[in-house]
Copies of this chain bind each other. A is one copy, B any other.
């Protein structure tokens, strides 16, 4: 599932990411594709049919080529995914206005990143353990770093807060992202799926209320009202994102007042 590139390809991969191609004119036929075209086609496949449908053959076919043709442009699928991941970040702003202070800027940054993940759910399936270090990914980090420097917090704390913000946005986005794919793949809407599942659950676990009293109590007290014009799961996840972000930023503010 998670594939790591070999050491030898690492250099080539970085050069591709940073477009540092040194191309001395060589004999032989000219290339009829570009790396950008391939990355775009791959993103289209992943956007439209999900990461599971992303295969070298599928990307090649979209470009009227075989799957193997891509290997003259890209060392392998893993590197292609890194390029897709970096490229997808290109649409995000490189900076945010700080006139209103760090908090609205941080909110805007998180919301933009969230929207980016919604538009490209497959991004959440790309491993973060060894980030690919592309220019656009760095631009997103640069943006949030600049914003958070406004808080005046010490650098060490700031680094952790930045990591936390990324974790939160990714996690919150994951809850919706695949939910958007599932109905398309299965033909069952999330609402139908959920109500069917809930009905089965009461049959299969009749003692649910006894085993999980707090969950039942919370569900009974939760005043969440569902605007039926929008999908239920998405709506709930969006609210979790907004409330959670605000709680998180409250925590940052608490750290600021404590530092004073």
Which residues of A pack against B, CB within 8 Å?
Answer: 1-4, 6-7, 10-11, 14-15, 17-18, 20, 50-52, 125, 127-130, 133, 135, 138-139, 141-142, 145-146, 149, 154-161, 163-164, 166-168, 170-172, 174-179, 181-182, 185-186, 188, 190, 193, 196-197, 200-201, 204-205, 211-215, 217-218, 220-224, 233, 237, 239-240, 243-244, 246-255
Contact = CB atoms under 8 A, between A and B. Distances in A.
A197 B244 contact: no
A161 B244 contact: yes
Nearest to A206: B20
A1 B51 contact: yes
A160 B168 CA distance: 12
A85 to B, nearest CB: 14
Contact of A204 (B20, B201, B224, B253): B20
Given A163-B175, A248-B251, A156 B222 contact: yes
A237 B128 CA distance: 12
Contact of A158 (B167, B218, B233): B218
Nearest to A200: B14
A157 B251 contact: no
Given A155-B218, A159-B222, A205-B18, A164 B1 contact: no
Sorted from nearest, which 9 A-B pairs have the closest CB atoms?
A167-B171, A164-B244, A251-B251, A155-B221, A129-B178, A160-B243, A247-B251, A250-B251, A145-B214
A130 B232 CA distance: 12
B1 A160 contact: no
A129 to B, nearest CB: 3
Contacts of A157: 243
Nearest to A190: B130
Contact of A155 (B159, B205, B222): B222
Contacts of A211: 135, 138-139, 142
Nearest to A52: B1
A252 to B, nearest CB: 6
Given A3-B52, A164-B168, A251-B252, 17 more contacts: A2-B51, A4-B186, A7-B186, A14-B204, A128-B174, A129-B182, A130-B190, A133-B201, A141-B212, A142-B213, A145-B214, A145-B218, A149-B217, A149-B218, A161-B247, A167-B175, A247-B252
A133 B177 CA distance: 19
A14 B255 CA distance: 44
Contacts of A6: 186
